[in-house]
């Protein structure tokens, strides 16, 4: 294992980072206070990964220490959390945090520790995973401090807690999600007793806020192995607690000897397919949730088998409720609920003879989501029958070509009707009301069906004829 000196050499191109560490080292020497690089920053050095979060444990007053560092780095702003004896400052793209070495004890009803002064060793022992207990003394530039075999665990790709896992997870249940997040980010295995403790403590997740859960959950979705994350969430029992709607996809029912596919396994395959094509977490989320409406819309039709009619609209409504419960931002709610509602459209389009008007309607309704919907559709093909797979993909290729051709001709994506409500109200001399909506729809339908051109002159002509028709009735 390299020393900090060799790390400084390695950093010769990272001028800003090296400067920050040199300044902190000088403060440590001048003030005669031990300061240690800790946590994710040291883990990432060992993993040879970049990190912009630099965390220090200070054996002394971290807040005073941070103020001196800020002065030397010419930073005016230091954010202080006196209750946690923590101070934070930013320098260029780096977040630098100082915390006084602490001995934490936890209150059963809260995830916030009571903090009192302690030593570095005590501080490290209270951390979540051995891979996060590594430390480097910035002053003496010694070897990496490796009290809990964190380096061995990194080499063996293992997530393990430094103390009894029951204590570590029950102290702070968010760590159960963190364990799964690190496993899916680094492709590590969660050690057996640790995983058993997660199962045992899974219900303790109820003291964690939706915001904190979301933060970890979205990190799992953005990670390199999101399917591994969702699989572990399910195995540990955490998925059932956070997203029972996804857990409900599990299993297969058989009637009259006819079964349907296990929609949870199918969903994992779809997520796997989409994750190979995009890192966009919202699209990955749409893939994960696209079939959540299936259990509720499942129906067995004698002589035909299982049907899931309306699962797209059902799923979309269910997703809006999930998003409200999790306090997700509108951009996530709007995007994913629309993706779920429309995820079956391209499939239906390829099942029938692809007509121009069907394609126009899809372009109009899908708008800027059309490309993502096409990606989701391709990812949704999980058949192991090669012949069928090629046939489906061929159909989507044909549809894609058609989309390009119609789009070029009619410019319907992000389409704004050539007449708006105000135009119609003016023509009819009426106030806003259901009639105006109906007339607007008739004009849009006429454009989509190809009955009139997508321009203002044609729309006004149609509007006049609608008006005449209405006067006659």
Tell me if 128 contacts ligand CTP by CB under 6 A. yes
Residue of the chain from 85, 102, 127, 294 that contacts ligand CTP (CB under 6 A): 127
Nearer to ligand CTP, 102 or 360 (CB): 102
- Sign (positive or negative) of CA dihedral 42, 47, 48, 53: negative
Query: Where do we find the tokens 């391209």?
Result: 346
- Least separation in angstroms between residue 10's CB and ligand CTP is 20
* Nearest-angstrom CA–CA distance, 319 and 326: 10
The site for ligand CTP, by CB under 6 A, has a size of 11
Tell me if 346 contacts ligand CTP by CB under 6 A. no
Residue of the chain from 34, 86, 100, 132 that contacts ligand CTP (CB under 6 A): 132
Residue of the chain from 25, 85, 160, 175 that contacts ligand CTP (CB under 6 A): 175
Stretch that binds ligand CTP, among 13-21, 126-134, 244-252, 382-390 (CB under 6 A): 126-134
- Residue number closest to ligand CTP, CB atom: 40
- Least separation in angstroms between residue 127's CB and ligand CTP is 4
Nearer to ligand CTP, 160 or 175 (CB): 175
- Least separation in angstroms between residue 377's CB and ligand CTP is 33
Between 370-379 and 281-289, two packed helices, what is the crossing angle to 10 degrees? 50
- 3-class state of residue 416 by DSSP: coil
User: In this structure, what token pair is assigned to residue 126?
Assistant: 């209270």
Q: What are phi and psi of 118, to 5 degrees?
A: -155, -165
Residue of the chain from 39, 293, 346, 366 that contacts ligand CTP (CB under 6 A): 39
* Nearest-angstrom CA–CA distance, 332 and 329: 6
* Nearest-angstrom CA–CA distance, 265 and 248: 12
Q: Which 176-215 positions form the footprint of ligand CTP (CB under 6 A)?
A: 178
Query: Where do we find the tokens 């509007």?
Result: 463
- 3-class state of residue 309 by DSSP: coil
Among 134, 159, 155, residue whose Cα is nearest residue 39: 134
Q: Chain-centre distance of CA 150, in angstroms? A: 28
- Least separation in angstroms between residue 203's CB and ligand CTP is 18
Q: Which 140-169 positions form the footprint of ligand CTP (CB under 6 A)?
A: none
Residue of the chain from 8, 11, 31, 40 that contacts ligand CTP (CB under 6 A): 40
Tell me if 172 contacts ligand CTP by CB under 6 A. yes
- Least separation in angstroms between residue 192's CB and ligand CTP is 21
Strands (E), 108-168: 113-117, 135-137, 158-159
Residue of the chain from 30, 53, 155, 368 that contacts ligand CTP (CB under 6 A): 53
In this structure, the strands spanning 86-91 and 102-106 are unpaired
- Least separation in angstroms between residue 99's CB and ligand CTP is 9
Q: Which H or E run includes 94?
A: strand 94-100
- Least separation in angstroms between residue 130's CB and ligand CTP is 10
Stretch that binds ligand CTP, among 75-83, 170-178, 289-297, 311-319 (CB under 6 A): 170-178
In this structure, the strands spanning 189-190 and 158-159 are parallel
* Own/partner long-range contacts of 59-62 (Cβ < 8 Å, ≥24 apart): 59/33, 59/34, 59/35, 59/100, 59/101, 59/119, 59/120, 60/31, 60/33, 60/34, 60/100, 61/85, 61/100, 62/86, 62/87, 62/98, 62/99, 62/100
- Least separation in angstroms between residue 185's CB and ligand CTP is 7
Nearer to ligand CTP, 175 or 294 (CB): 175
Nearer to ligand CTP, 132 or 247 (CB): 132
Q: What are phi and psi of 384, to 5 degrees?
A: -95, 0
Q: Chain-centre distance of CA 307, in angstroms? A: 30
Query: Binding residues for ligand CTP, per CB under 6 A?
Result: 39-40, 53, 55, 127-128, 132, 172, 174-175, 178
């Amino acid at each position: 294992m390299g020393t900090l000196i060799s790390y400084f050499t390695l950093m010769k191109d990272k001028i800003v980072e090296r400067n920050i560490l040199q300044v902190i080292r000088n403060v440590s020497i001048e003030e005669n206070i031990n300061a240690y690089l800790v946590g994710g920053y040291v883990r990432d050095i060992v993993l040879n990964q970049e990190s912009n979060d630099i965390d220090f444990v200070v054996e002394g007053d971290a807040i005073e220490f941070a103020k001196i560092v800020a002065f030397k780095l010419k930073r005016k702003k230091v954010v202080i959390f006196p209750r946690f004896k923590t101070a934070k400052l930013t320098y260029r793209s780096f977040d630098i945090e100082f915390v006084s070495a602490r001995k934490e004890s936890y209150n059963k009803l809260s995830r916030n520790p009571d903090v009192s002064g302690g030593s570095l060793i005590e501080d490290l022992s209270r951390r979540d995973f051995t891979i996060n207990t590594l430390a480097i003394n910035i002053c003496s530039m010694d070897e990496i401090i490796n009290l809990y075999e964190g380096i061995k665990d990194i080499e063996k790709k293992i997530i393990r807690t430094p103390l009894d896992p029951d204590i570590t997870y029950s102290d702070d249940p968010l760590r159960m999600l963190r364990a799964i997040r690190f496993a899916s980010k680094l492709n590590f295995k969660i050690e057996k007793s640790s995983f058993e403790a997660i199962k045992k403590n899974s219900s303790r997740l109820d003291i964690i806020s939706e915001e904190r859960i979301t933060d970890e959950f979205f990190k799992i979705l953005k990670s390199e192995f999101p399917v591994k994350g969702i699989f572990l969430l399910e195995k540990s029992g955490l998925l059932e607690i956070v997203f029972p709607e996804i857990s409900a996809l599990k299993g297969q029912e058989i009637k009259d000897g006819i079964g349907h596919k296990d929609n949870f396994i199918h969903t994992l395959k779809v997520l796997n397919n989409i994750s190979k094509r995009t890192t966009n977490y919202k699209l990955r989320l749409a893939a994960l949730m696209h079939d959540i409406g299936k259990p509720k819309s499942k129906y067995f039709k004698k002589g035909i088998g299982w049907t899931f009619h309306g699962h797209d609209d059902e799923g979309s409504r269910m997703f809006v409720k999930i998003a409200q419960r999790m306090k997700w931002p509108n951009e996530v709610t709007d995007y994913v609920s629309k993706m779920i509602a429309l995820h079956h459209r391209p499939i239906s389009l390829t099942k029938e003879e692809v007509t121009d008007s069907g394609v126009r309607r899809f372009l109009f309704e899908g708008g800027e989501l059309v490309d993502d919907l096409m990606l989701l559709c391709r990812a949704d093909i999980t058949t192991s029958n090669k012949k069928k797979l090629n046939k489906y993909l061929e159909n989507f290729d044909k549809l894609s070509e058609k989309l390009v051709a119609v789009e070029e001709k009619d410019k319907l994506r992000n389409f704004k009707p050539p007449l708006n409500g105000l135009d119609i109200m003016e023509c009819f001399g009426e106030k806003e009301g259901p009639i105006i909506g109906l007339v607007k729809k008739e004009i849009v339908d006429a454009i989509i069906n190809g009955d009139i051109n997508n321009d203002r002159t044609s729309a006004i002509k149609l509007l006049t004829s609608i008006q005449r028709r209405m006067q006659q009735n």
